[in-house]
Amino acid sequence: MRIAAAAYPVEFMPDFDAYARKLSAWVPDADADLLVFPEYAAMELASLGGAAVAADLQASLHEVARHWPAVEALHLQLAAQHGCHILGGSGPVFDGSGRPFNRAVLYGPEGRIGHQDKQIMTRFEREEWHVAGAPGLRVFDTALGRIGILICYDSEFPLLGRALAEAGAEILLVPSCTDTVAGFNRVRIGAMARALESQCVVVQAPTVGACDWMPALDENRGRAAIYGPPDGFWPETGIIAEGAMDQPGWVRAVIDPARIRRSRTEGAVLPFAHWPEQEPCRVLRQMPEN
């Protein structure tokens, strides 16, 4: 299986056709079976409302949500045309409650496979942007295997990744959007930890570059990467492939799903199998003996 993770620059778009041309160039350039675009990559569509709309936190969300039908049609066309699976860049979806969810949609050659909403919001999302969490994890059965999605901050919570692994996920997709190197590293460390403890492949795809016309995504730091567990079946660092920091483009790797299953049964260590041994975890308070 060929996997490609995008380090994706958010750019001002004069019209939807420009956005369609951009994605129509990115998708074939990946040359992969599974393509992963970043968290909030769809926010570049806020530019279609003009500079004032893009600069307004709430107006930008509504502008992007307005274009979801066209976004989905474009991704369906590209997935069918190139015979690949695409995790589209996530963006806001309103359900009538007044607060949007952050949604990533997985498309396949045969159509829309399903979506995953972000579970846990960062402080900026909940305190300033008013984006809401939408509890409910999904595992997607695809021709490439079982896939789970942890959107950015969600990757930092081990029980979310464990739930997906227990449900059969062998590949976890982590689209991300971070405005500092520290933020990027938090997601990176979380993604690598999920690969370690669940002995699976984790794909991180970040937004990169400056975006001075939209305060919600004004700075974007990160590098695309594909991680595995350093258990004897994968690189000793756990890094299968990674790109240069803040450099746009695809990072690619060829993965044999059978190796994931071998890791879980024949690895030098077996954290996926041994996970239950930590439950229940009792902590005894030790008082001074004297």
As annotated, the active-site residues are 39, 118, 152
What is the helix (H) or strand (E) element at residue 243, kind and residue range?
Answer: none
Residue with tokens 């062998």: 170
Strands 100-108 and 85-87: antiparallel
Neighbours of 249 (CB within 10 A): 18
Closest CA to 38 of 217, 212, 194, 204: 204
Where do the H-state alpha helices sit in 138-216?
158-166, 181-198
Residue with tokens 């829309």: 112
Peptide bond into 280 cis (omega under 30): yes
| Amino acid of residue 181 | V
Could you give the C-alpha distances from 47 to 43, 177, 212, in angstroms and in order? 8, 18, 12
CA distance linking residue 190 with residue 285, whole number of Å: 29
Structure tokens at 144: 């490439």
